[in-house]
Amino acid sequence: MTTQLPSEQIASSLSEESKEILSQSVDLGGLRSRNRFAMAPMTRTNSADGVPPEGTGEYYAERVRGGVGLIITEGILVPDAVAGFSARSPVIADPAAQERWRDVVATVHDSGGAIVSQLWHTGIQRRRPKRFHPELAPASPSGINLAGEAVEEPLSIARVDEIIAAYAEAARIAQNVGFDGIELHGAHGYLIDEFFWSTTNTRSDRFKAGPQFAVEILNAIRGEVGEEFPIIFRYSQWKADQYSAQIAETPHDLERLLSALAAAGVDCFHPSTRRYWTSAFPDHGELSLAGWTKKLTGLPTIAVGSVGIDTPFSAENIMAGSLAPENLDLVAEFVVRGEFDVIALGRALLADPQWVDKVLSAGASDVVKFDRDMVEENGERLY
Residues serving a catalytic function are: 190
Write phi, then psi, for 216 (nearest 5 degrees): -70, -35
Of 241, 310, 307, nearest to 278 by C-alpha is 307
Determine contact, residues 119/167, Cβ cutoff 8 Å.
yes
Nearest to 38 by CA among 369, 382, 371, 335: 335
Question: What are 183's strand-pairing partners?
Answer: 118, 232
Residues 6+ apart with CB under 8 A from 158: none
Smallest CA-to-CA distance from 116 within 83, 54, 74 is with 74
Residues 293 and 311: their CA atoms lie apart, in Å, by 26
Instruction: Specify the amino acid at residue 207.
Output: F
Q: Are 2 and 369 in contact (CB under 8 A)?
A: yes
Please tell me the distance from the alpha carbon of residue 14 to that of residue 29, in angstroms, as a whole number: 28
Nearest 5°: the CA angle 292, 295, 300 is 100
